[in-house]
Structure 1
Amino acid sequence: MTRPQHFGWFLARGFGPQGWGYASLDWDYDWTRPEIYQEAARTLEQAGFDLVIIEDAPSLGSPETIDLRVRHAFGGPKHDPLLLAPYLFQATRHLGIVPTVNPAGLLPYTAARQFSTLQHLSGHRLGLNVVTDTGSARHFSDAPTLDHDGAYDRAEEWLDGIRSLWRSWEDGALVADTGTDVYADGSRLHAIRHRGEHFAFDGPLNALPFTDGEPAIVSPGGSGRGLGFAGANSDVQLALAPLDEASVRAYRAKIHQAAVDAGRRPADIKILFAIQPVITSSADEAERIVAASAHPDDAALQQIARKQSSDLETDLTSLDLDCPLDPAVFGAHVSQGSIRRLLGDRGPEAPLRAHLTALARAGRISDRTGFVGTAEEFADLIEELGEWGNDGVLLWGDFHPVTLHRTLDELVPVLRRRGILRREYAAGGLQENLRAF
């Protein structure tokens, strides 16, 4: 029997210029206004998606590379997704909204109170994508920048502190009895006093306790420390891994072991693999797209170089396409994972053209070499992932309505006919929908 899967959308551009660089920009949506995001959120809810995760990067990067990030709007500008969330909650009734938050940028008491407010306003549909971006630290204080693992330690202290504040109202503290004129029992509020390595604050929290669960915690980290953080804290793990059976099962086993090591059950965390499919109307169209991608021209390679330059904060566009790419061009601040994704298994003697051509090359869903194919072929892949025990997938893209409809119009009916995609939501908010199957 086909297993239903959880579906989410990763808003990869964040609260930024939706449609920039594409012909769909001429639909004349204003990315700074809420309407385009509300329209997209309603579409995802109609499609039966569980949640949308809104990427964010508080920083424009190092002063030397700001122009690389803003020239083509790959790395900015971006507005604060936490402030977009209320508009999306107002436009929907069931969809979970998950803005990205940085523990360096919000003090625990302020964060706990703001998140609690949004959880109540939304009917318990808030999630938090906790990202330990060390590159943004200089915007929040002049404290020394933490290393990779140190940033996770701070995030863990931050989240533990927020949860202690959320739980500072014990069961029965909220009375709300009009007969006795007692709204709350102050003897059941805990006087939290936190003095940690990174934060100091007191409670209890001046906000109501939750009735349908705390905000869902999402995490994207793939390092050993990141997987440990997810196992101990997260309700959803944003997963990046090759989608073959061995890789999927191995990744899930690592997350589940991390959960067990933290005293949790494997079922407490949903693992959603991120995929950016290109849905075509026919197999012939898919073949044409794949064939065309095998021999990109220099203009196509330069477009890829511009995006990679933003992600890697290194100007690849100024380098000779036909010379070897020396890894020494990347500064110490650049993610090693991002560098590995660019270089792949090609040696240091490979020219930049080879690396960019590999990124340009598309593959077919039908033979599992890529993600170009028909809705039926994509549904086959999702069913296969389900047979390996998978919990669901995150589709990937901007929030322009053209992008969503190009991806979903043919796909949603196929997924629903096969019993993979939900038709109804559970009562009780995002946490209940994640636990529904």
Structure 2
Amino acid sequence: MNRHRRQMRTMLVIGNVGQHHGAWREPDSGIEDADSLRFHLEVARRAEAAMIDAVFIADHLSMLGREAYAPAQHLEPLTLLSALSAGTESIGLVGSMSTTFSEPFNLARQFASLDHLSGGRAGWNVVTSAFGEENFGTDPLPAHDVRYARAAEFVEVAKALWHSWAPDALVLDKQTGTFAAAQKVQPINFSGEYFTVKGPLNIPRPPQSYPVFVQAGTSTDGINFAARHCEVVFSAQQGMAAAKEYYDRIKSGAVAAGRDPDSIKVLLGVSPILAATTEAAHERRRYLARLLNPQFARQLVGFQLGGVDLSEYGMDETLPVSILPGPTAVNRRKGRFDLYRRLIEEGRTLQDLVEIEATAAGLQVLVGDPESTARQMVEYFEAEAADGFMLICPSHRVDGPLLFDEVLPILRDWGYLPTAYRGTTLREHLELPFPDGR
């Protein structure tokens, strides 16, 4: 294939032994080491050797009944990423932090610290949180639109704090004893509907000015928020048509918000189930499905459907649309609810929904040998349904080697991936502008 000017951006979801809810039961999964820095550093270093732009850690703020049937290790993202920053050199470090259950000053300090310690590799996955309210004294969960209104104000405050130090505020004059130019470190004196923050931040401006903003909203509120504020969008879609529609909505939303559409990179979430042959890959998918606990599988899908009880339905049955709550009654993960509703309307069985949810939480599953998987990724990329991919391994130790050692090198040989990191910061890797004009 010919080399292309436009190249894919890639991130790898980490934070557990893999994303398939049954893969931890495989003999070589590494579940015994899932809480260790050693395990996560192994994955991050392999991703860095493969020149993936960033590792990405999602987060869970409650158990959701998972403790009995699936791993419940959810290490705190900023702690883990800070540890990984010391053991890696180039790869970006993206972590989820909630605007509903955090405060802007604390979060701004944490990400400024990570950006300084990593030399400019930090990214913030901005989440409004669809669960966890019982652990933060905010039960019931605030309404969907309220969560996004708070998020918009939260981002405004955080940006002001990161910019409360001018780029040249540090003087460090040992002769005169002047550490910083006082006039270039200013309070923000913010007073809004949700926050009152004086500032300034007690850390100098981060190397990237502020971390790369990542977001994964699929609801109307989420898409509007991303179009206004975010720089990388995690696309959670099934199939080419849905991925293309979402991509176009994000890009047109950016234009409507007065932004360059190229300043937002849309990464389609894909979970590659790989083997030496396509037939073997499909057998692996069936094998992973057999590792799922049926009771837990029903809980997973029921949660995405707004809390529907699926215990009476057989795995080979299709689900009637009539069991679903109305869209206005759903206050959690509206975009994911809409995705599963569409799948039910298409006549998918409960087993289909379980495999989609358990493998990649509703994201696109690619099943095949390395070359056919690479070709599927190229199809999405060339159709401008994605600027790149959020890679979600069912098992890092089982599926990861084929992804890193075969799929990505094929794409690199075809000219779709760079042969070296584009710079030292995450913004440079992704070819995103620096907020201070650099």
| Superposition TM-score tier, normalisation by shorter sequence | 0.7 to 0.9
Quote the residue 1:42 is aligned against. 45
1:414 to 410, 413, 432: 410
The answer to whether the aligner puts 1:279 opposite 2:285 as a matched pair is no
1:21 shift after superposition: 3.7
Give the deviation of 1:131 after TM superposition.
0.8
Match of 2:67 in 1: 70
The 8 Å contact of residues 8 and 49 in structure 1, kept in 2 or not, is answered as yes
Distance, in Å, in 1 between the alignment partners of 2:47 and 2:382 is: 25
User: Of residues 431, 434, 437 in structure 1, which corresponds to 2:430?
Assistant: 434
TM-score normalised by the chain length of structure 1: 0.83
Match of 2:389 in 1: 393
What aligned pairs does 1:147-158 form with structure 2 within 5 A after superposition? 147-158=143-154
Secondary structure at 1:230 match in 2: helix
1:11 aligned to 6, 11, 14, which one? 14
The amino acid across from 1:305 in the alignment is R
- After TM superposition, list the pairs within 5 Å mapping 1:305-324 onto structure 2: 305-309=298-302, 314=307, 316=309, 318-321=311-314
| Structure 2 CA distance for partners of 1:159 and 1:241, relative to 1, 3 Å | same
Paired amino acid for 1:270:
K
Q: CA RMSD in A?
A: 3.4
Distance in 2 between residues matched to 1:425 and 1:98, nearest whole Å: 17
Where 2:213 maps in the other structure, the secondary structure is strand
Secondary structure at 2:430 match in 1: helix
Q: 1:304 to 1:411 in 2, by over 3 A?
A: same
Q: Is the CA contact 1:116–1:166 (under 8 Å) kept in the aligned structure 2?
A: yes
Deviates more, 1:36-45 or 1:381-390: 381-390
Tell me the distance in 2 between the aligned counterparts of 1:151 and 1:202.
23
CA contact (8 A) 2:17 2:29 kept: no
Change over 3 Å in CA distance of 1:359–1:28 after alignment to 2: closer
Please state if 1:374 is matched with 2:377.
no
Gaps of at least 5 residues in structure 1 are 363-368
Counterpart Cα distance in 2 of 1:162 and 1:253: 28
Q: Deviations over 1:289-340 (max 9, x none)?
A: 68x69xx889886664354356557475632415955525898555444444
* Residue 121 (structure 1) aligns with: 117
The aligned amino acid for 1:111 is L
Deviation by residue 1:205-225 (Cα, 9 ceiling, x = unmatched): 110113334211100001111
Q: What letter matches 1:210 in structure 2?
A: P
SS at 2:80 equivalent: helix
Contact 2:231 2:265 in 1 (8 A): yes
Contact 2:267 2:388 in 1 (8 A): yes
| 1:23–1:334 Cα change, 3 Å | same
Secondary structure (helix, strand or coil) at the match of 2:124 reads: strand
CA distance in 1, matches of 2:296, 2:134: 30
Paired residues, number: 417
- CA distance change for structure 1 residues 203 and 319 in 2, over 3 Å: closer, same or farther? same
SS at match of 2:111: helix
Alpha-carbon separation, structure 1, partners of 2:349 and 2:31? 37
For the pair 1:166 / 2:166, whether they are aligned, the reply is no
User: 1:15, 1:55 within 8 Å by CA — same for their partners in 2?
Assistant: no
Distance 1:208 1:298 in 2: 49
In the alignment, the residues of structure 2 paired with residue 107 and residue 261 of structure 1 have an alpha-carbon distance, to the nearest angstrom, of 29
Change (3 A) 1:26 1:431: closer
- Provide the C-alpha distance between the structure 2 equivalents of 1:404 and 1:149, rounded to a whole number of angstroms: 38
Structure 2 unaligned segments of length 5 or more: list them. 358-363, 434-438
State yes or no: 1:140 paired with 2:136. Answer: yes
Are 2:107 and 1:111 equivalent residues in the alignment?
yes
Q: Which residues in structure 2 correspond to 1:209-358 (within 5 Å)?
A: 209-244=205-240, 246-286=241-281, 304-309=297-302, 314=307, 316=309, 318-321=311-314, 327=323, 332-346=330-344, 354-357=349-352
Per the alignment, residue 365 of structure 1 pairs with: none
Identity %: 27
The residue identity in structure 2 corresponding to 1:128 is W
CA positional deviation for 1:40: 0.3
Asked if 2 retains the 8 angstrom alpha-carbon contact of 1:17 and 1:77, the reply is no
Greater mean deviation of Cα atoms: 427-436 or 149-158: 427-436
Cα separation, partners in 2 of 1:220 and 1:328, compared to 1, 3 Å: closer
Distance in 2, Cα, partners of 1:182 & 1:204: 18
Report Cα offsets for 1:241-276 as digits up to 9, x if no partner.
2442x5444322211222223222111111100011
Compute the displacement of 1:18 (Å).
9.3
Mean Cα deviation higher: 311-320 or 409-418: 311-320
Distance across 1 between alignment mates of 2:293 and 2:103: 43
Match of 2:54 in 1: 51
Cα 1:225–1:14 change in 2 (3 A) is: farther
Change (3 A) 1:133 1:15: farther
- 1:355-392 CA deviation, whole Å, 9 max, x = no partner? 32465489xxxxxx962112111222222233233310
Offset, 1:398 = 5.6
Cα distance in 2, alignment partners of residues 222 and 266 from structure 1: 18
Equivalent residues of 1:55, 1:99 under 8 A apart: yes
After the TM superposition, which of the residue ranges 250-259 and 107-116 deviates more from structure 2? Answer: 250-259
With over 3 angstroms needed to count, the CA separation of the structure-2 counterparts of 1:407 and 1:25, relative to structure 1, is same
Maintained 8 Å contact 2:304/2:340: no
Distance 1:262 1:22, change over 3 A: same
State how far apart, in whole Å, the 1-side matches of 2:426 and 2:34 are.
26
CA apart distance, 1:87: 1.4
Q: Look up the SS of the partner of 1:397 in the other structure.
A: coil
For residue 59 of structure 1, give the secondary structure of its aligned residue in structure 2: coil
